[in-house]
Amino acid sequence: MTPTRDAILSALSRLALPGGGTLVSADMVRALVIEGGSVRFVIEAPSPEVAQKMGAIRDAAERLVSEITGVTSVSVVLTAHQTAKAPPNLKLGRHPTPSKGGVEKLPGIGHILAIGSGKGGVGKSTVSSNLAVALARQGRRVGLLDADIYGPSQPRMMGVSARPASPDGKTIIPLTAHGVTVMSIGLMLDPAKAVVWRGPMLMGALQQMLGQVAWGDLDVLIIDLPPGTGDVQLTLCTRYDVTGAIVVSTPQDVALLDARKAIDMFATLKTPILGLIENMSVFVCPHCGGESHIFGHGGVRTEAQALGLPFLGELPLTLDVRLAGDAGTPVALGDGPAAAAYARLAADLVAQGVA
């Protein structure tokens, strides 16, 4: 008998924390993966100081889960948000450094997936955060870089807000959330202030977030690109060894017009296109459960067929997706149709050997 997610969370909800609540009610259980009788998950403490005191709780959680029928092995990782502040001499937005010739491969990172779109508002950042979480639940070591310099949204979507540490004023220590390593320029700057930078500063900031961040060993780094076909995309695809790009669009004709430009850009830059995703393919009413195709339906599939590109699937628009993103707990963490759609997408990318 294979253990269920509900059975594991039910067992962990019996484990009380010293300050009140449980691991489940405090939302500390992340990246829960069940493969047959093997169970893996992350306990994410709110700070390194708290994590240092939770060794006994981690051991207790492992014992509780191991007693569930069908569980043959348990692996529990204890981690924490980083809370230390960067020193004042660490600045983002410098001018780019010259290329050394050829594409650069980031050490320790197996694959780089660029998530792009021709226009804003199609849910590219939502797809990026949920795909990162879904891949982590598949047991992959995942990083998520928010490269949307002008409109960074991953701090909110991933539920992180602490400023990354920098022990030497050069190396940047990223944050972790839901089993994913996260970095965004939104964590380094005042969220109420606009980023007013010219192109060279954008390119320099991208170089810093790729080259100065201590990503560690990752199976895949997902890069949430800004909309359009600008300097960030050009720098990423010409300077770094990008495994491939995924283009997100709604089925609406206007969105598809811009998606074609993104596809043409990646083709021009010789970046493999791994496939197209139709986001907001169907709206599910939270009251009656009825389905409505607000933005049309099937347009992205048809476009993929016409261009000879893989179609990676349809993702629904539900109230749960919006609420989860605003709350910093991506919908892919849970169950239900939306989470299942992201799980299928993640499993397909793993099966293809690109994540």
Partners of residue 248 on adjacent β-strands: 277
Superfamily of 5-80 according to CATH: Fe-S cluster assembly (FSCA) (3.30.300.130)
pLDDT digits (tens, 9 = 90+) for 84-105: 444 445 666 666 776 666 788 9
In the block, residue with structure tokens 């990172």: 109
pLDDT values of the chain reduced to their tens digit, one per residue, 355 residues:
788 888 999 999 998 898 888 888 888 887 777 878 888 888 888 877 787 888 899 999 999 999 999 999 998 888 775 544 444 456 666 667 766 667 889 999 999 999 999 888 899 999 999 999 999 999 999 999 999 888 899 999 999 988 888 877 788 889 999 999 999 988 887 777 777 777 778 888 888 899 899 999 999 999 999 988 788 998 999 999 999 999 999 998 888 888 999 999 999 999 999 999 999 988 878 788 888 888 888 889 999 999 999 999 999 888 888 888 988 999 999 888 889 999 999 999 999 999 8
Residues recorded for the chain: 355
pLDDT given at position 95: 64
- The pair phi, psi for residue 228, each rounded to 5°, is 95, -160
Angle subtended by helix axes 124-137 and 337-351, to nearest 10: 70
Tokens standing for residue 285: 């009413």
pLDDT given at position 86: 43
pTM of the model: 0.74
pLDDT given at position 331: 93
In 3D space, the residue among 352, 328, 236 whose CA is nearest the CA of residue 27 turns out to be: 328
Q: Write the CATH number of the domain with boundaries 109-351.
A: 3.40.50.300
Query: What does the alpha-carbon distance between residue 283 and residue 140 come to, in Å, rounded to a whole number?
Result: 30
Residues of the chain with CATH 3.30.300.130: 5-80
Q: Computed from CA positions of residues 329, 330, 334, 335, in that sequence, does the dihedral angle turn out positive or negative?
A: positive
- Amino acid at the residue 292: S
Q: Work out whether strand 218-224 and strand 142-146 pair parallel, antiparallel, or are unpaired.
A: parallel
Yes or no: say if 65 and 39 are a contact pair by the CB < 8 Å rule: yes
pLDDT given at position 202: 80
Tokens standing for residue 50: 């708290």
Q: Report the 3 state secondary structure along the chain.
A: CCCCHHHHHHHHCCCECCCCCECCCCCCEEEEEEECCEEEEEEEECCHHHHHCCHHHHHHHHHHHHCCCCCCEEEEEEEECCCCCCCCCCCCCCCCCCCCCCCECCCCEEEEEEEECCCCCCCHHHHHHHHHHHHHHCCCCEEEEECCCCCCCHHHHHCCCCCCECCCCCCEECEEECCEEEEEHHHCCCCCCCCCCCHHHHHHHHHHHHHCECCCCEEEEEEECCCCCCHHHHHHHHHECCCEEEEEECCCHHHHHHHHHHHHHHHHCCCCEEEEEECCCCEECCCCCCEECCCCCCHHHHHHHHHCCCEEEECCEEHHHHHHHHHCCCHHHCCCHHHHHHHHHHHHHHHCCCC
pLDDT given at position 253: 83
Residues of the chain with CATH 3.40.50.300: 109-351
Residues 6 or more apart from 90 whose CB is under 8 A from it? Answer: 166, 169, 170, 172
Query: What does the alpha-carbon distance between residue 129 and residue 156 come to, in Å, rounded to a whole number?
Result: 10
